[in-house]
Amino acid sequence: MYKIVKKQELTTNIYLMEVEAKRVAKTCEPGQFVIVRMDSEGERIPLTICDYNREKGTITIVFQTVGAGTKMMAQLEEGEYFHDFVGPLGRPSELVEQPLEEVKSKKILFVAGGVGAAPVYPQVKWLHEHGIAADVIVGSKTKDLLILEKEMESVAGNLYVTTDDGSYGRSGMVTQTIKDLVEEGKKYDLCIAIGPMIMMKFVCLLTKELEIPTVVSLNPIMVDGTGMCGACRVTVGGKVKFACVDGPEFDGHEVNFDEAMRRQQIYKTAEGRAMLALEEGETHHGGCGNCQ
Amino acid sequence: MDVLKRIPVREQDAKERATNFKEVCLGYNKEEAMEEASRCINCKNAQCVKGCPVAIQIPQFIEQVKNGNIEEAYHIISESSALPAVCGRVCPQESQCEGKCIRGFKGDPISIGKLERFVADWARENGIKPTPAAQKNGKKVAVIGSGPAGLTCAGDLAKMGYDVTIFEALHEAGGVLVYGIPEFRLPKSGVVAKEIENVKSLGVHIETNVVVGKSVTIDQLMDEEGFHAVFIGSGAGLPKFMGIPGENSNGVFSANEYLTRSNLMKAFDPDSRTPIMHGKKVAVVGGGNVAMDAARTALRLGAEVHIVYRRSEEELPARVEEVHHAKEEGIIFDLLTNPIEILSDDKGWVTGMKCIRMELGEPDESGRRRPVEVPGSEFVMELDTVIMSLGTSPNPLISSTTKGLDTNKWKCIIADENNGKTTKEGVYAGGDAVTGAATVILAMGAGKAAAKGIDEYLSAK
């Protein structure tokens, strides 16, 4: 059992939890993820590691309530426990693995969409701790959904916030800000984009044009997260890869995003049904139109 | 009673069971078991024992069953096997103990598996447990993987007095026993969980959610956590795909994913929070036991199911009993058929599978006749789900993170089959991680041999 030592509602439907998981905290690196199960009946949910404290033996996760599983998870309180918490899984971010001198010589731009700000944060923080100031674009649908702005500000070189509806910071999609920055004369050697699949796709289309090498962190459906099932398979550079062991980070210009987005839909009806059943409880009698 | 015929075992009716996940085989009761046991002629130089990879003293335990001393029979089996309720159910006895039984030359061999199962079930229902070691020797051994190899190795070492900890990557112990083999062949809470409790009652600790190679390395276990020896029983869990066009379409699954969802995550239960695809027309590609398990699971979830296999019935690698059960339940066998492309609609969902007919040519290096394509025989099967059951290989995670641990070209760990010794001092290995995908009982045999190897190594140290 893994104790929740801190819980915070960052904004509507986005939660941060700091969880005691000594083994994970001892060995994890930025870019890796964990799989959690809230109780003995729960499904396995993959979440990127957003922060870690090796001394305290804790891991910070951030999640948005998008389905039945995360909705139930959001009801867990400080002092309660996750039944299972396994990791670190996947490969660490390439930045961490490369020689520091090489990383230092690069101008790096991070692009975070929505809850993707959470997994971007530990990487920017890691760079900051190693004396590297990376630029960061954080995109959010609206002001109320923006998370980790202060934290990001304290570790980023330049921070650019943009909202789709213009309610805060710049206005428009993250791609607009990338274009603007490049037009203003900024040069980047590497872009790291994390967020919804559709956002990563459009960032990649743009950076390919701008000839900026781009790394994305994919979030396909997963079950075990250790390479034994292939639920998370994606096509990268024409080859089939398992995101849980070969990734989750890949060369964004090589990823087949259309296929990856299609594959995210596999259980959509089943998930919707489970969500309705959860919301309507005993009163759930086929409102989803899919019950027999 | 006709001594040439075995006492039949009661089973759930085929029509009935095709709609539920309850165990197919109901097993013997005590009277039936004693009657079947009385057919054993108690050979002096018993061949059946030689056919058993863990060398259970078969005539001795059967003698006790014949006399109605079931508890005594259980203790005899426990000397050799940590998982009798499992093995009695899933071993391919026809090619092991029962295949060697003298009775089988003229008539039916003794139902050794069903008798073992009866004894183990009886012991469980009557609260009989294996006996733990009288004294601990103060030496620590780490076991990686809680499948049949790891559980056996851990159980044997604990009985010798070692302080054993099993590290398991998933949230539940049991390996293929919990994620692979379905409930209708091997009940999870009723049988597997209880058998694992028995191993724990010997003093074995199990730490779940530890991915060795990620959460901790073997070197760290030995250098920092004080383990004197390590046994690797991490299995062969990496699924193979065919590499044909369309294989990433929505509705194509590996058998591992499909079975893990159904068995480990209980997705067959409508109340489960883990979803599973309820196909209407399903093809399972492959002919092994895993293919039969996936097919029979899909059938129970309401599908019309086809087994698509490129050779003929004679070459099916699955157990005869499983093929028989699958047929009884209504699985359709499309033999000498090989998929060449998965077809999908404009949204990427599977609509069918293009196949080609095969015929058998000359024998290949495995001795089986090689299937060759019949030119111009392509046809399309309409489907909404395809399950790939083409076998698995070892996950390279452990070998790639452990210095000095050598593997062969199939990424299998190189280990001595007599004592499990690897190329790294103090590290032993066995089961599918060494052999590639094989059987539960062979993995147990390897776990047993390694326990002996580890004991010899640590005793001499």
Count of structural domains, chain A = 3
Q: How far is B348 from chain A (nearest CA, A)?
A: 7
Q: Are strands A81-82 and A14-20 parallel, antiparallel or unpaired?
A: unpaired
On whether both A190 and A223 belong to a single domain, the answer is: no
- Asked if B52 and B58 count as a contact pair (C-beta separation under 8 A), the reply is yes
CA distances from B298 to A221, B18, B32 (A): 21, 10, 33
Q: Which residue has the tokens 């009798």?
A: B84
CB nearest B239 (choices: A89, A228, A270) = A228
Examine residue A190 and state whether it is found in any structural domain, yes or no.
yes
Judge if B82 and B215 occupy the same domain: no
Same domain, B46 and B74: yes
A27 is in an annotated binding site: no
At residue A278's C-alpha, the angle toward residues A274 and A283, to 5°, is: 110
Phi-psi region of B91 (alpha: psi -120 to 50; beta: other; left: phi over 0): beta
**B1 assigned to some structural domain:** no
Same domain for B364 and B289: yes
Mean pLDDT of all residues in chain B? Answer: 94
Task: Compute the distance between CA of residue B439 and CA of residue B39 in angstroms, rounded to an integer.
Answer: 28
Same domain, B265 and B290: yes
A207 and A226 in a single domain? The answer is no
CA of B271 to nearest chain A CA: how many angstroms apart? 9
For A198-240, the pLDDT digits (tens) are 999 999 999 999 999 999 999 999 999 999 999 999 999 999 9
Q: Residue A292: inside a domain, yes or no?
A: no
At A289 the pLDDT is 45
Q: Residue written as tokens 């920055």?
A: A181
Percent of chain B's residues with pLDDT above 70: 100
Question: A42 and A129: one domain?
Answer: no
Q: Is A133 exposed, middle or buried (0-12, 13-18, 19+ CB in 10 A)?
A: middle
Q: Which position has the higher pLDDT, B363 or B211?
A: B211
Is B461 at the interface with chain A, CB within 8 A? no
B2 found inside a domain: no
> Are the C-beta atoms of residues B151 and B447 closer than 8 Å to each other?
yes
Residues B218 and B108 in one domain: no
Three-state secondary-structure class, residue A38: coil
**B318 and B288 Cβ atoms separated by less than 8 Å:** yes
- Measured in angstroms, the CA of B269 and the nearest CA of chain A are apart by 11
Domain boundary among B391, B410, B432: B391
Q: What is the pLDDT of residue B427?
A: 97
Residue A99 shares a structural domain with residue A85: no
Q: Does residue B440 sit within a domain? A: yes
Q: Final residue of a domain: which of A214, A232, A256? A: A214
Asked if A157 and A108 count as a contact pair (C-beta separation under 8 A), the reply is no
Q: Give the pLDDT confidence score for residue A277 in this predicted structure.
A: 66
Q: Measuring CA to CA, which residue among B168, B186, B175, B172 is closest to residue B149?
A: B175
At residue A278, the pLDDT reads 62
Q: How confident is the model at residue A291 (pLDDT cuts 50, 70, 90)?
A: very low
Q: Kindly state whether residues A195 and A228 are assigned to the same domain.
A: no
Instruction: Indicate if B255 and B229 belong to the same structural domain.
Output: no
Task: Report the CATH number at residue A118.
Answer: 3.40.50.80
How many structural domains compose chain B? 3
Residue A204 vs residue B364, higher pLDDT: A204
Which residues on chain A are in Cβ contact (under 8 Å) with B257? 223, 229-231
3-class DSSP state for residue B193? helix
Tokens of A210: 């701008």
Q: Is residue B132 part of a domain?
A: no
B378 and B255 in a common domain:
yes
A199 plus A170 within the same structural domain: yes
Structural domain including B434 reads 140-237+394-460
pLDDT in tens, B11-21: 999 999 999 99
Q: Residue A88: pLDDT band by 50, 70, 90 thresholds?
A: very high
Per-residue pLDDT tens digits for A244-283: 999 999 999 999 999 999 999 888 766 666 666 666 665 5
CB contact under 8 A, A263 and B347: no
Domain residues for the domain of A99 are: 94-214
Integer angstrom CA distances of residue B228 from B133, B163, B207, B225, B456: 19, 10, 18, 9, 13
Confidence (pLDDT) at B362 = 87
Cα–Cα distance for residue pair B256/B392, rounded to 1 Å: 9
Angle at which helices A174-183 and A197-209 pack, to 10 degrees? 20
The mean per-residue pLDDT over the stretch A48-66 comes to 94
Quick one: A262 and A170 in the same domain?
Answer: no
